[in-house]
Structure 1
């Protein structure tokens, strides 16, 4: 199958210098692209000078993750898109199991490899671990990562199974499905746009899978650190927009109401922790959500599956029952 590995870059010369060599070395089956979001550093010059086989697509502006990929992929011809963060180290033969799955399973539309922590290579990495799921209220969690608890990789998730969402850190999708879904929602800018895309794919009957035979290592937080208030704003706002777009009709109002209340509790927690900028970020996220309700309600598909969640409440399981690992 014709596969394109596409690395979105913005002022990431150091990351490209560190991680692009592994992608070039271990991806003989693919065409490799750097999709540049109008960098102001010497990223493009560096790639041209050191990696002549890597193709370059330059966006007109810094469109963020979502629109950045949407714009770049218009110029890339392939059957499979491999969307790879610039802070990902790939391993030998990482593409072959993915290609085999796509070739042998026509209904599989999206695949995530095993995502391990570059800094602690025996542990799963926060952004996707061994594949993602949602609870009833739209809180994302992973096999191998529930909230801040990361499991050590002891082979407990060495399987190839269906999941609900795949991490945007290393995200494989059939180009035909990407086009059918009109790509990522550009309004998200960054954070949770991959979950929204997977949910929309799920509602249309497509299959999302995890493949443990493909292994990559992710640094995480290279663009926005975990403690950045902008990240808090995007996560809270985008999560609400995602619920608005994808929840089944009967759950739409009650689930969003509960989620707003839970967000308020998180804000109070930030207040007591003295994290006033994060409290303000949640308030801004809610007001931004209210301003976008009409526009995003119109994006709802004709059908929304009621079987979108695996756990009733991951918040209750984690904080009340002390369930810190994924329940199979």
Structure 2
């Protein structure tokens, strides 16, 4: 099989009913399969799939391993040159996959790509978690072409150029299976959130290329598993961002980056308190406590990542501060911040 599109499902029966038919319509051919990996669902997802989509292969995991380990286990059970990590809340369009696969065939130096991701509920706008390709700044804050912090742009074709990006969203990530496992796959300790950025950082550091192909378009609902303001999501985002920085930041800048992040995260904590979001504020403290408690378990990963890197300064990493540009300079779009 050339391509396996793997949808990781957890209690997503309604999403499968809504979006799986379009995926099958736009995807299946003699070189492509769509596979559902069930992450220990407790709803009737499996019965629904076996009744209404008996032709779709199932990988049944014994419990919820989270996004990261769920995909690691699922991708070990498929045999394809290319694998696509596709969220169950993604609406595909015609030729979305053929554009991606043809591009990878023609560009062997590119390891992973993502399509343009638009919001499924308002299709004129980019979607928060991916938009038109992802980047990070020097302090680990992610942003996208089409989304800076909370500011999401309308798609007017302004980002339709194919460009290298720092990270591709896990909502719809097409990657060479060999490269995925060669750099270690997703880090299971993350459970969910930031794991695809960590994976892409390792790819970049080892000289692999990641690109966004805006000619391929999908629509993403987003926050289907955890609501955006959920304290659990706040905890995972803060904790995993610290893990990612510790695993991948070069020694020459690690101390400075962490000092600045401690200050910025303290400001975020007080900002959440002022807004009355006490559970989210507590999550920031818990994230830092658990990071420092768990950090010794990541020392080996840090040594391996730094030893295997062949690129010292990743070109797609933004060396400035997104917070400074957005809140101090008032630049709230990718086009204003990144001039070239």
Name 1:108's counterpart in structure 2. Answer: 110
Q: TM-score, normalised by structure 2?
A: 0.95
Name 1:296's counterpart in structure 2. Answer: 298
Name 2:9's counterpart in structure 1. Answer: 9
> How big is each residue's C-alpha offset from its partner over 1:24-78, in whole Å with a ceiling of 9 and x where there is no partner?
0000232000000011111011111111221100111100000000111111111
| 1:306 counterpart (268, 291, 313) | 313
Name 1:262's counterpart in structure 2. Answer: 264
C-alpha spacing 1:144/1:311, structure 2 compared with 1 (3 Å): farther
Measured in 2, the distance between the counterparts of 1:237 and 1:132 equals: 19
Q: Shift in Å at residue 161 of structure 1?
A: 1.1
Measured in 1, the distance between the counterparts of 2:312 and 2:68 equals: 24
Name 1:194's counterpart in structure 2. Answer: 196
Measured in 2, the distance between the counterparts of 1:28 and 1:63 equals: 27
Following TM superposition, the consecutive aligned residue runs of length 4 or more in structure 1 with deviations greater than 4 angstroms are none
Structure 1: unaligned runs, 5 residues or longer: none
| 1:320 counterpart (322, 328, 335) | 328
Measured in 1, the distance between the counterparts of 2:251 and 2:165 equals: 23
| 1:246 counterpart (245, 248, 253) | 248
Contact 2:28 2:34 in 1 (8 A): no
Equivalent residue of 1:233, what SS?
A: helix
Measured in 2, the distance between the counterparts of 1:291 and 1:311 equals: 29
1:16-31 map, 5 Å:
16-29=16-29, 30-31=32-33
Contact 1:111 1:210 in 2 (8 A): yes
Measured in 1, the distance between the counterparts of 2:317 and 2:95 equals: 33
Worse overlay, 249-258 or 200-209: 249-258
Equivalent residue of 2:261, what SS?
A: helix
> How big is each residue's C-alpha offset from its partner over 1:129-156, in whole Å with a ceiling of 9 and x where there is no partner?
0000011101000000001111111001
Structure 2: unaligned runs, 5 residues or longer: none
Measured in 2, the distance between the counterparts of 1:244 and 1:34 equals: 33
Contact 1:247 1:306 in 2 (8 A): no
Contact 1:248 1:306 in 2 (8 A): no
Equivalent residue of 2:71, what SS?
A: helix
Q: TM-score, normalised by structure 1?
A: 0.98
Measured in 1, the distance between the counterparts of 2:183 and 2:4 equals: 19
Equivalent residue of 1:103, what SS?
A: helix
Measured in 1, the distance between the counterparts of 2:109 and 2:296 equals: 33
Measured in 1, the distance between the counterparts of 2:117 and 2:50 equals: 29
Q: Shift in Å at residue 266 of structure 1?
A: 0.3
Name 1:37's counterpart in structure 2. Answer: 39
Q: Shift in Å at residue 263 of structure 1?
A: 0.5
Measured in 1, the distance between the counterparts of 2:273 and 2:13 equals: 37
